[in-house]
Amino acid sequence: MCRDALRGTSVAVVLMLSAGCGEANRFADGWDRGGTLHDASMREWAFAVDANRLATSADFVRERIPDMPEEGLPISSALVEKCLSDMSLRSAVDYLKAHEKLDYCFDYTERMLGRLAQEYASQAPASE
C-alpha cells in the first residue's frame, strides 16, 4: 500500500464530501479516543460497540500513517472499521486477531477512497 496515496486521496475525498455537509453524530467530539480493541479477536470485534471499533480504528490509522492529516482521519478510520467489522461478521472466531487483517483493510480503504474520489469527480460540475 502506498501511504502517500492513501493520505492524499483521503484528504481530497474528505474536503470534497464535506464542502457543505454537516458532521455526523458518529464523529462527535472524542470519537477517535478510548478504543480498547487493539488486540481483540475477530469475535470480540464483532460484538463490540460501534464507538469502540471506530476509536480503535482511528488508533490503527494513526499508527500506520502517523502524518495523516486530521481531516482524513474520520473517513479513513470509518473505512478500516467497516472492513474489519464486515470480516468479523464472516469470521467471528477467537483464534484470529482483528489487527492481523489490517494489511487487507488498509488496501481496501485505499481502493474505496480512490473510488469515492473518482465518483465525486465524475459528478462534480465542470468549472468554467
SS3 letters across 71-98: HHHHHHHHHHHHHHHHHHHHCCCCCCEH
24-45: pLDDT as tens digits: 577 888 999 999 999 999 999 9
Give the model's confidence band at 101: pLDDT under 50 very low, under 70 low, under 90 confident, else very high: very high
Mean pLDDT value of segment 93-119? 94
Residue 19, pLDDT above cutoff 50:
no
Residue 18, pLDDT above cutoff 50:
no
Specify the pLDDT at position 96. 94
Q: Enumerate the domain spans of the chain.
A: 36-123
